[in-house]
Amino acid sequence: MRIYKKNESMFIIGTSSLLLAILLGRFGGQYALTNFLEGLFTGLSLVLNLCFLIRFGKERRMIDKQSQK
């Protein structure tokens, strides 16, 4: 089972943006800009991590189908 570089970078960026969102929510205060950035990073994390899971699942199913032949 191999994770390709492009998918791995999507996962790393998604996880890092989630970390930034959590840190901004915890230590950023209640300002409009920090709330906006927290929401932006949360959404970015959600999209990138879901894309990683979908692509990883498709690639894994493809590999499984090829190994069954």
Over its length of 69 residues, how does the chain's per-residue pLDDT go in tens digits?
A: 455 556 688 899 999 999 999 999 999 989 999 999 999 999 999 999 999 999 888 888 888 888 887
**What is the value of pTM for the model shown?**
0.80
| Gap between the Cα atoms of 65 and 53, Å rounded | 18
Q: What is the pLDDT of residue 3?
A: 53
Is residue 34 within 8 A of residue 24, CB to CB? The reply is: yes
Q: What is the pLDDT of residue 1?
A: 45
Give Cα 41 to chain centroid, integer Å: 10
